[in-house]
Structure 1
């Protein structure tokens, strides 16, 4: 039989005793078959305090506790020497004179000399051995049964061991991991980023928590996953790094749920923002621009809004589309700084599309037209009609959708959304969100359309009811102006008139029906016609007001109106003034003196139960009478007295003609966007020829 060197026997026996022995100090002792100690290593000296010189040649039983049964120790060695091998717990006696419980393992091995037997003994502190065994059981159970992926790597970041959970996550057996790095076995994840995090944990000694791994593994090669990894440095007894422990958890479902929740909150916030920012006015262009601005950048990187050309031109819309489509571009966002919007059709231009174009199909179907992945194949149908799709593809557009604008059964136009950033294509949720924004904008656009139609109707009605040709009697020169409210405000019921009487006198009238829109303009028309008829009957001014008030009471919906009437006799300069809640007239005398004529204010027509009075004033020849509605002097930012003072100051400045005076008043007193319409009438009284 071949002899095996004694040192190799010891090494092999230690390996066979259990892999966990390397985790605690183990003394190795050798005895002859009769128990005489023949080998005593440094670990044994550290464990019991005796040097080799002090124990070699002694019986091993002499090292037991003085009170222990020596025969038990001798029988153990006898059993080991006969080839059975034994293990158990004994109480030894430390050199310092204290007991020490040891776990021992003893087995026979071939001696150096042929035919002899040596007993090899391993000894370790019993308490430490029990702790190691417990830890090993826990570690082995955790490693093999944990649903968390666990790996042990060396200092070169090569796998030493992986558990079954990590094998399942990666779709690779342990054999495919051992000795290789992550970048070698999983090229479709962000392995380089993960190894940088591992290296940081090794170099700095601080754990790295929640380092994300993303991508695909052989376990599920068709879908992206997200994992949360944590890394802890492993150290030896003196703190030197010997490797790395890694844990990995698949958080794809939680991440998806979190992303969906975040997206839901963003969508809700965007819809809430749209509620406040879209439709702040009844202006068509502004509403379209508000839709574009709200959608960038939270939903899209560029947006255009186009409406039907007939709508933009103020025409009537039908319920459907026939043939091709002509659109006018009213808005885009961002207005500057985007290469996408820079190449798109400028604002105000028209775009014509045949019936087969995607724009026309989206409008006709009243459903979104979505191209999730904008590529050469996707743009082929549209490229027939325009070179724009190819240019957009070159600029990085990778996802595209068109959402129709329709409200109250009427197609109005559509909004187009472009995405260039690397945030993925438009999803069903994005399309639904765009639909909500478009629906909100469509109602506002339709409101603007209906308002514009009513506003235009009211303006036409208002202007048609104002006197077209004023012919004052000799001795009176007049100039007049009518200024409708701005487009963002409704038309009111302001009017003026000059009615010549048969005896050379004239009636100067000005009024203001309270309210706005077509209704106010219609009532104004009725009152102005009544005034002309009543004035020619030569009724007393106060009686005429009673008749006008009766006319207001006849309306289905009662309304109020202010009114000012001045009966002027140019031969004498006499003026009979009757006022019903209207701003006071101003007089400019020939010497330049300006004053507001003190006339009882009265109450507006329609209040009822009020006695009207007439005031007589005589003005010298060459004097001016200035009649105006409240839109000229009322302002939200100024007191009415200050505005009246400003009016009188302007009237004190010389003007070459009455028309020039009217222009001066409007220029200085009326802002660019008037809140109310304005009527102005200026008359110069001179002696009749």
Structure 2
């Protein structure tokens, strides 16, 4: 048995007893001045198995292991009795006849009712004492050194103890916490939510994990923080709640990083969506609307898109913006159901802004213009000119920004983004995102502008080269139609003509330059002029095709064209037909019979090395010839033979006039949005006409 002087261990024993004896079964034994046992409590009986009747009056050293040195035991007791006190470990003998290691603490106390000294001996099972003392040391170390904030609260949610980490986290010493609730000492955090989570842990007995505490504490009163809290109910031996243990971790940095990562993912998703949705057509209004639709609601609650008036009307764009700005509103989102967009100028409205207006400043500076806080002060400069800003403020707009539409160094217009939801003003990353979306849309808007200009130029060129007034020779009645392709496609190179020849004959010609745009229209004009000049030389049809072939080869960028020429003598109904890769002509005989004329198809002009041939066909007087380009009978979802059969069926039905026949064919064979332009020429052989 180890001797430890009492005066050296008093502080240590008191600390141990206060720190962990309450959780350990401890036997309390008292002896008289002669060492005989005078008190034996229930814990001692439970520990060693002896009843008070078994031990009272016996010397305490008699309870040691039979092989132990009883003289040593007696000297230890004497040391305690003389005032030095002892602390150590002994091996006792259990009533069941087995050894039991005990930790003991012995110290003298004055007898209450008589003189002399009483020795109190505290004894506990050594293994249990070591285990509990070890866990207590771990807990104390964790509590004092942990970087995690830890608090112990009672069942009324009042602080009993906080560790140094929580003191630093809250910016308050432990003394400011003790006896007070979280809502009392931390008014600038969501204390009510926190206490509800704590109460739930107390009432239900299940831990509450990752309950978020947000706000500001005296430790950092100028910045918001986010903490993750976990709450565990503390219970006594019978399972009754006696308090609560709370741990808190500051996750502000992680939360901010997560928010930034989420924002990046949302931004990338929005950019990907914009790539797919913006610029799906070369239509100016549709492109502007696609930009507005993409930005709502992920980036903004309402959006308008305005372009320069000169762009909307097809004029030339200004190299710079001087003075005021005139814009045309092309898009709003959402189109319905939003009080904000309802309060803004409608689509198609022309808007004029002075030089001092944010619209003009954003365009002139060629960079975003942001109003982070939209309030009475912000709208004051415009109060005398417009009531719209005040109305937007009333509708809850609290932040907005304008981003110019810039493409190839040219200012095209701007997009305006309005925010009403309580999510704060636009951030720098959101301004950058709006700039990316606007840049994407600006390129598409500029493409639409350039396409419209080229489309209009090609359309004007093509129409100018089509025959303006066709005057057929006597004996031939004609009707014709030209239908340009839809705006999804560009103008093509289809044309037709009727040329009077010597001897009362006429040349019915139709052609199609492969390709679209201004180049195709220009080649079409060149071929049509060449055909008219060559036909008047009275060349044989196949010779005329050779000359046209040579004209195509003279081009810097050779092109290919299909061509059909029918030289008709109305007096006899004799026709000479030459075909170069063009769809076959149809003939409607006076008796209503319809047939596609069997003429060798040939190869298109421009292929080279091809011999052309001419076929002679005799038609009865009163027959109708139908010439057309492939746009009339070709369709992506239908077989060409089926479409030709549909054409002949339409021709077989009675028709009162040639213009009516043209209208019938276009109405039934051409969809609302044609993929290709169409030329149609019909002629009736009628000597009496």
> Is the 1:358–1:382 Cα contact (8 Å) retained in structure 2?
no
Kindly provide the CA deviation profile for residues 473-530 of structure 1, in whole angstroms up to 9, marking residues without a partner as x. 1111111111111112100000011111232111111001110000000011111111
Q: 5 Å matches for 1:533-682?
A: 533-682=533-682
User: Which residue is 1:421 aligned to?
Assistant: 421
Report the counterpart of residue 10 of structure 1 in structure 2.
Answer: none
**Equivalent pair of 1:587/1:626 in contact (CA under 8 Å):** yes
Residues 416-456 of structure 1: per-residue CA shift (max 9 Å, x gap): 11122222221111111111111111011001000000000
Q: Distance in 2 between matches of 1:326 and 1:154?
A: 70
Q: After superposition, where does 1:21-40 map in structure 2 within 5 Å? A: 21-40=21-40
Indicate the residue corresponding to 1:286 in structure 2: 286
Contact 1:571 1:688 in 2 (8 A): no
**Which whole-Å CA distance do the structure 2 matches of 1:551 and 1:626 have between them?**
27
Go from structure 1 to structure 2 and tell me whether the alpha carbon gap of 1:565 and 1:153 turns closer, same or farther (over 3 Å shift): same
1:20 and 2:23 correspond: no
Unaligned runs of 5+ in 2: 1-12
Q: Runs in 1 of length 4+ with deviation above 6 angstroms?
A: 13-16
Query: SS in structure 1 opposite 2:504?
Result: coil
Match of 1:8 in 2: none
Correspondence for 2:443? 443
Query: How far 1:586 sits from its partner (Å)?
Result: 0.7
Alignment deviations for residues 91-133 of structure 1 (CA, whole Å, 9 cap, x no partner): 1122222211111111111211253321111111111111122
Measured after TM superposition, the shift of residue 321 of structure 1 is 1.2
Map of 1:128-527 to 2, 5 A cutoff? 128-527=128-527
User: Is the contact between residue 334 and residue 341 of structure 1 (CA under 8 Å) also seen in structure 2?
Assistant: yes
Matched ranges for 1:100-111 at <5 A: 100-111=100-111
Per-residue deviation, residues 282-323 of structure 1 (Å, max 9, x unmatched): 110111111111111221122111111111111111211122
2:6 — aligned with what?
A: none
Q: CA deviation at 1:14?
A: 7.6
Deviation track 1:180-210 (CA, whole Å, cap 9, x = no partner) reads 2112211211222222222222233222222
Instruction: Normalising by structure 2, report the TM-score.
Output: 0.96
Q: Could you tell me whether the CA contact under 8 Å between 2:589 and 2:623 is conserved in 1?
A: yes
Partner of 2:49: 49
SS at match of 1:534: helix
C-alpha deviations, 1:263-299, integer Å up to 9, x for none? 1122122212211211111110111111111111221
Contact 2:101 2:126 (C-alpha < 8 Å) held by counterparts:
yes
Worse overlay, 345-354 or 583-592: 345-354
Change (3 A) 1:16 1:490: closer
Q: In the aligned structure 1, how far is the partner of 2:114 from the partner of 2:359?
A: 101
SS at the partner of 2:503? coil
Asked if the contact 1:34/1:77 (under 8 Å) is kept, the reply is: no
- Secondary structure of the equivalent of 2:515? coil
Once residues 233 and 218 of structure 1 are traced to their aligned partners in structure 2, the CA distance between those partners, rounded to angstroms, is 27
Instruction: Select between 501-510 and 235-244 the one with higher mean Cα deviation.
Output: 235-244
Distance in 2 (alpha carbons) for counterparts of 1:434 and 1:422 = 19
SS of the residue corresponding to residue 503 of structure 1 reads helix
Q: Secondary structure at the match of 2:315?
A: coil
The Cα of 1:620 is off from its aligned counterpart by 1.2
CA distance in 2, matches of 1:83, 1:247: 45
CA distance in 2, matches of 1:613, 1:518: 31
Instruction: Confirm or deny: 8 A CA contact 2:370 2:400 kept in the other structure.
Output: yes
Post-superposition offset of 1:360: 0.7
Structure-2 residue corresponding to 1:113: 113
In the aligned structure 1, how far is the partner of 2:298 from the partner of 2:518? 41
CA displacement, residues 566-594 of structure 1 (integer Å, 9 cap, x when unaligned): 11111111111111111111111111111
Contact 2:19 2:136 in 1 (8 A): no
* Residue matched to 1:4: none
Deviation at 1:51, TM superposition (A): 2.2
For 2:128 and 2:384, how far apart are their aligned partners in 1?
Answer: 83
Distance in structure 1 (CA, Å) of the matches to 2:276 and 2:481:
38
Uncovered stretches (5+) of structure 1, i.e. residues with no partner: 1-12
1:531 is the counterpart of 2:516: no
Using the alignment, how far apart are the partners of 2:215 and 2:239 within structure 1? 35
Aligned residues of 1:552 and 1:559 also touching (Cα < 8 A): yes
RMSD: 1.5
Deviation of 1:463 after TM superposition, in Å, equals 0.4
Q: CA deviation at 1:219?
A: 0.6
Structure 2 CA distance, aligned partners of 1:221 and 1:324?
A: 46
* Larger mean Cα displacement after TM superposition, 234-243 or 285-294: 234-243
189-198 vs 436-445, which deviates more?
189-198
Partner SS state of residue 576, structure 1: strand
Question: Distance in 1 between the 2:112 and 2:14 partners?
Answer: 18
Partners of 1:18 and 1:273 in 2: how far apart? 67
- TM-score, normalisation: structure 1: 0.96
Per mean C-alpha deviation after superposition, the further-off stretch among 330-339 and 585-594 is 330-339
Secondary structure of the residue that 1:247 maps to in structure 2?
strand
